[in-house]
Chains A and B, each alone.
Chain A
């Protein structure tokens, strides 16, 4: 073969192979970017899942009941889309296991140095480590010595593709968010009286909430013990605190009760809307108003402090 013939072969080969490799590498690049994008989305989704799980565990732990915490962890583990949930003590040992080894001591060391949640990808799983910090509710049992009490470790699989993971996670662990969105979209507005909400917009009643298993509550008209008020008619000329103007138990019902006792709004010395039930109870307790209206459970909470 002559030298120009060899050159011809090389030129032919290069002109065929270069575009081929070009297309191949660009395709790989695009696929890699897509995969990274999907991974980022999956990581973000999983991050909020891990956070919701940790918040739930924290809330139950504050009750001081290890058995309920363990039951919750078991329950969370059984959900599809979550490969594992562990509560770790500050040494990195699984809190509910009897073994003495501490396989996660490195993770706990890292959180002790900097108590910021972090995640690592291990094979087909994303592992999230979120710190359980010593708060006011924890100190009665755990004391003040440690800032970090332990951590939750949430493992989320990446196996069947990021999209599926994302779809699987939404119904399993994001229920609170779904319900909140549904609630806002379809008209639960706790500050509005149910009676006002319902009719004008032609809405359909779906269900009523049960407060400690009961479909009703009570309103209370409260005053300080030293206010020399013995019955509702004594409130004539006195100052009165309501909650929100649209609230059933801190405005509508108490005002109807006052009216029934012969005390119209015009007979009160003065009145104001303080917004929240707690604000009413606190203001009456301070002596800012002679009396006020709040839901029974709030009044009961402030009762021990009443003079």
Chain B
């Protein structure tokens, strides 16, 4: 049984490597945001990534700040990693 449930945890994200050109990043972001379960191809892509995924949305670094603070408090982030 569930003893305690956590506050909302931001979902997994897709990041681009720093050396990936900006225009490619934008194309990739556009392709991800356009994915839906409505088209067969989109449904197959999402299903391949994870069964519960229904799409992608924009996000900001701030959405993940709280998790980063937790990791810091627990000593799970090195000096260079912050």
A204-B15, A208-B58 known; 9 new pairs, CB 8 Å cut-off, are A196-B76, A196-B81, A212-B54, A216-B10, A218-B9, A219-B6, A222-B3, A253-B67, A303-B1
Q: CB < 8 Å: which of A176, A186, A188 contacts B12? A: A188
Q: Decide yes or no: A175 and B16 within 8 Å by CB, A76-B40, A196-B77, A208-B63 being known contacts.
A: no
Q: CB < 8 Å: which of A186, A218, A231, A254 contacts B14? A: A186
8 Å CB contacts to B: which residues of A205-255? 205-225, 229, 231-232, 248-249, 252-255
CA distance A300 to B5 in the complex (A): 11
In contact, B28 and A186 (Cβ under 8 angstroms): yes
- Report which B residues bind A (CB closer than 8 A): 1-18, 20, 25, 28-29, 32-33, 39-41, 43-45, 47-50, 52-61, 63-64, 67-68, 70-71, 73-74, 76-77, 80-82
In contact, A218 and B5 (Cβ under 8 angstroms): yes
In contact, A176 and B57 (Cβ under 8 angstroms): no
Q: CB < 8 Å: which of B11, B17, B60, B82 contacts A203? A: B17
A-B contact pairs, 23 of them (CB 8 A): A71-B40, A175-B41, A179-B49, A186-B28, A187-B15, A190-B50, A198-B13, A198-B61, A203-B16, A203-B18, A204-B18, A206-B15, A206-B16, A208-B56, A209-B53, A209-B56, A210-B57, A212-B52, A215-B59, A248-B9, A252-B74, A253-B9, A299-B2
Residues of A within 8 A of B15 (CB): 186-188, 197-198, 203-206
In contact, B6 and A195 (Cβ under 8 angstroms): no
In contact, A208 and B57 (Cβ under 8 angstroms): yes
In contact, B67 and A195 (Cβ under 8 angstroms): yes
Q: How many A-B residue pairs lie within 8 Å, measured between CB atoms?
A: 214
In contact, A201 and B10 (Cβ under 8 angstroms): no
Please, which residue of chain B has its CB at the minimum distance from the CB of A178?
B45
A301 to chain B, nearest CB (A): 11
